[in-house]
Amino acid sequence: MMRIAVIGAAGRMGKTLIQAITDANGVELGAAIVEPTSSLIGADAGEVAGVGKLGVSIVSDIQDCVADFDVLIDFTTPALSVANAAYCAENGKSIVIGTTGLNDEQKALLAEAGQKTSVVFAPNMSVGVNLTLKLLSLAAEILGDDYDVEVVEAHHRHKVDSPSGTALRMGEVVAEALGRDLKECAVYGREGQIGPRTQKEIGFETIRAGDVVGEHSVWFATEGERIEIVHKASSRMTFAKGAVRAAAWLENKQAGLYDMQDVLNLK
Ligand X SMILES: O=C(O)C1=N[C@H](C(=O)O)C[C@H](O)C1
Ligand Y SMILES: NC(=O)C1=CN([C@@H]2O[C@H](COP(=O)(O)OP(=O)(O)OC[C@H]3O[C@@H](n4cnc5c(N)ncnc54)[C@H](OP(=O)(O)O)[C@@H]3O)[C@@H](O)[C@H]2O)C=CC1
* DSSP SS3 for 63: helix
Q: Is 123 in the site for ligand X (CB under 6 A)?
A: yes
Q: Whose CA is closest to 167, among 137, 201, 133? A: 133
Query: What is the torsional sign of CA 85, 100, 32, 249?
Result: negative
130 annotated as a binding-site residue: no
Nearer to ligand Y, 30 or 98 (CB): 98
* DSSP SS3 for 180: coil
Question: What whole-number distance in Å separates Cα of residue 166 and Cα of residue 244?
Answer: 19
Q: Is 100 in the site for ligand X (CB under 6 A)?
A: yes
Burial of residue 157 (number of CB atoms within 10 Å: 0-12, 13-18, 19+): exposed
14 annotated as a binding-site residue: no
The region of 27-35, 54-62, 162-170, 190-198 touching ligand X under the rule CB under 6 A is: 162-170
Give yes or no: 159 in active site. yes
List the single partner that 155 binds among ligand Y, ligand X, none, CB under 5 to 8 Å by kind: ligand X
Question: What whole-number distance in Å separates Cα of residue 243 and Cα of residue 129?
Answer: 13
206 annotated as a binding-site residue: no
Q: Where do runs of H (alpha helix) occur along 152-191?
A: 165-177, 182-185
The region of 48-56, 158-166, 189-197, 217-225 touching ligand X under the rule CB under 6 A is: 158-166
The radius of gyration of the chain from alpha carbons, rounded to an integer in Å, stands at: 19
List the single partner that 76 binds among ligand Y, ligand X, none, CB under 5 to 8 Å by kind: ligand Y
Which residues fall in the annotated binding site?
A: 8-13, 35, 98-100, 122-125, 156, 165-166
The site for ligand X (CB under 6 A) is made up of 100, 123-124, 155, 159, 164-166, 214
Annotated binding site for NAD(+): 8-13, 35, 98-100, 122-125
